[in-house]
Amino acid sequence: MSRPHRGRGEQRPCDFCRIRKTRCLVRDSPPCEKCLKVGRTCTFEHEPPPRRRNNAAEVPASLAHSSTRPVAPAISSTLGLGLDFQLNRDMMLQYTDGMNMPMDFNWNTYQDLSSSSFNVPEAYGTGIGNHSAVVSPNSIPSTTRQDQSQSPASSLAVSEWNAVEPSHDSLLDGNTIYSTSFLGASAELDPFLRQFYRFDSSSHFQSALRGFQIIGEIPSESPIFLETPRRVTQNMTDLLMANPAVPSLVGDMDPYKSKLASLFHRFISPCYPVLGPPNQFSPTIHAAIYGLALPWRSHDPTLPWAQFDSRGVTRLNVPDVNILWQYVWQQISRELHAPTYGTLQACLLLMERGRSKPFVADTPFDWVLVSTAVSVAYTLGLHLDSSSWQISQEEQSQRQRMWWLVYTQERWISMTMGRPLLIREDDFTVLAPESINGFAEDNQSNDGQSLKATFFLHLTSLTFLLDKIYHGFLTIKREAQLRCNISQAIVASNQIHNELNEWSAVSLGSLVSSPQDSSDLSSPIGVLLIASIYCHIILYRSILKVTIRTPHFAEYFSEVLLFGSEIRKSLERLTLLHLESFWFSWSQGQFNAIADFMALLCVIAPSDEDKQRTRSIATAHRQWLWLRSKSFEISRPSMVRLDSLLASIDKGDLSMET
């Protein structure tokens, strides 16, 4: 039953009910049922907070005798309202509840949001189009700022004004107060309109709820970035998922941080330059580094864990890296409301995690992860040419390097999974990597810079050829067009085959001829060789698909057989040094594609003689996989797949209908 009427001397209603001018509903004992319903902390047992009364001198003359309530500067400036309007307590409560509430705000300390809670100097203005309606820190009188900071309610309006100025050392990661995101041309926060703000000397404009930053000298020609208070995005994040605790495993591995980081920069960074020089990384990045470096632990006998994936006898058991990757993904998910460079780096590192089920094809999660990385890259504005921005040369190089890392990962993973591409050529302006400086770490020697930069430049140039293959042969509309003009399709494919051969002569030749240190197993030629073979296979598969059961097929099949026999010779170039180097996650799919290609030739061979030749080629490739399956894990799933396909062919389950 509801609480009986209370006299004047009895306890007052809770803050939540008093603001709405309603009665408290208490059954037997507090808290109030209305507070329970909305999940608020009830203040039924406490005295009401004292009312604040402002001096008449502090209220502008234009508002002293007005019948309407004065508008909080945070709301009037942000919404840009030029008309006086009535703002009751419920509207104010709804606005502050979701938009600009401090993280430590609670209903125990809530004060009445009446008209006396805000002082609105005349300088703020209320006219439409008046820039004074948007308040900057310098436009607030010091007395007013001091008076407003005395109550939690008024701090909702001016908390960002009194915040520490953002750091300008980095466009994104140097700012602990605001998160930064790129404003595109069609954004609901019109960047064309925002370019007319009066930016300060540091190219910032701050209002109560958000800020804007330009990074060029001319606002009309410069991209605009939106700055949102991190406590707002943090609140939005907390509503979706809890903040996971740092796994104890990360702390257990911290004593070996430098050794694991050394393995990471020795074996992984030369092929995958996601991180810059060793620095103070977040626990998320550390967890990712540990997860990628642990498979290389046998190269550092001072580490306490068993060197191979077996139960430890005289050493500790290998840590469960799945715990590390779970934590990394949880943190990435939490940071998506306010991503930084670190968020994207964690995404890129998570893509290369070890697979617990190597015989299972990549799941849709890998595609989701790629999509997430692309979305974060666009949010950070990495798709824009930053060469003329007012940021350091080091950050420009970092942005360029990270964009091309996202681009290459998106292209190769999309192709091996058979998905459409996410990044369109007309949606980015980043210059092609023409200098090795953009991909080299500052703390590496010149030789280390050359190895890393040379590899990644070759990989990006091969990625451009892969992109040409996709748009020329693999889109749905393009495939239908190829069937209408087979001769032209064959000519176009031969042109790309020639470009791939030229690329191989330059890129693979330069890496093979470069001296290799036997103590450093980071030679990346294997990744490039398999990727180039995969590109040839995609082209041949596309033409075989449109020429089968046509007069062009027999002649073209003979050409494909010559390439099939060349695959074994190319793979023989891979030494143990190459096989034990770093391999991308999509390299496994390319080995599987080679196995599928061998089986495809056996199925569609037009004559008995061709069937014998194709079976001989497939058997030779299977032998190569078997000889390396003991020490080279990537070859095992490919060998199992080829065995399964050949067995299906022998049983007649896989054959071309005649």
* pLDDT tens digits, one per residue of 323-353: 999 999 999 999 999 999 999 999 999 999 9
User: Greater confidence, 52 or 454?
Assistant: 454
Which has the closest alpha carbon to 402: 445, 479, 471, 460? 460
Contact assessment for residue 472 and residue 464, using Cβ atoms and an 8 Å cutoff: no
> Which residue type is seen at 167?
S
Angle at the Cα of 311 (from 305 to 316), degrees rounded to 5? Answer: 30
pLDDT digits (tens, 9 = 90+) for 436-473: 455 544 434 444 455 566 888 899 999 999 999 999 99
Contact assessment for residue 509 and residue 525, using Cβ atoms and an 8 Å cutoff: no
Q: What is the pLDDT of residue 518?
A: 44
Q: What is the pLDDT of residue 514?
A: 52
Strand partners, 206: 211
- Residue the block writes with tokens 């604040």: 52
Distance CA 171, CA 395 (A): 8
Contact assessment for residue 557 and residue 605, using Cβ atoms and an 8 Å cutoff: yes
Q: What is the pLDDT of residue 95?
A: 39
Distance CA 134, CA 100 (A): 16
CA 422 from centroid of its chain's CA atoms: 13
Which has the closest alpha carbon to 11: 44, 39, 40, 34? 44
The rounded mean pLDDT for the chain is 76
pLDDT digits (tens, 9 = 90+) for 495-523: 999 999 999 998 887 655 554 544 444 46
- If DSSP codes are grouped into helix, strand and coil, which group holds residue 5? coil
> Which residue type is seen at 169?
D
Mean pLDDT of 345-363: 85
Q: Which of 23-32, 76-85, 416-425, 488-497 has the lowest mean pLDDT?
A: 76-85
Q: What is the DSSP letter of 319?
A: P
Q: Which residues of 516-548 are buried (b: 16+ CB within 10 A; e: fewer)?
A: beeeebbbbbbbbbbbbbbbbbbbbbbbbebbe
Q: What is the DSSP letter of 581?
A: S
- Is pLDDT of 74 > 50? no
Mean pLDDT of 519-542: 85
3-state secondary structure 176-212: CCEEEEECCCCCCCCHHHHCCCCCCCCCEEECCCCEE
Q: What is the pLDDT of residue 600?
A: 97
Structure tokens at 450: 């050359």
Contact assessment for residue 264 and residue 279, using Cβ atoms and an 8 Å cutoff: no
Neighbours of 422 (CB within 10 A): 19
Q: Is 555 exposed, middle or buried (0-12, 13-18, 19+ CB in 10 A)?
A: exposed
- Is pLDDT of 161 > 80? no
> Which residue type is seen at 121?
P
- Is pLDDT of 299 > 80? yes
Distance CA 145, CA 124 (A): 13
Strand order in the sheet with 224-229: 178-182, 224-229, 211-214, 204-206
Query: Where does the pLDDT of residue 140 fall: very low under 50, low under 70, confident under 90, or very high at 90 and above?
Result: very low
- Is pLDDT of 624 > 80? yes
Contact assessment for residue 465 and residue 504, using Cβ atoms and an 8 Å cutoff: no
As a whole-number percent, the residues of the chain with pLDDT over 70 amount to 69
Number of continuous H segments (helices) and E segments (strands) in the chain: 25, 4
**C-alpha pair distances (Å), 579 with each of 408, 513, 514, 623:** 21, 17, 17, 16
Distance CA 168, CA 176 (A): 11
Q: What is the pLDDT of residue 68?
A: 40
User: Greater confidence, 206 or 218?
Assistant: 206
Contact assessment for residue 615 and residue 624, using Cβ atoms and an 8 Å cutoff: no
Mean pLDDT of 519-540: 84
Q: Which residues of 270-286 are buried (b: 16+ CB within 10 A; e: fewer)?
A: bbbbbbbebeebbebbb
> In angstroms, how far apart are the furthest CA atoms of the chain?
106
Count the helix, strand and coil residues of the chain and give each as a percent rounded to the nearest 5.
Answer: 55, 5, 40
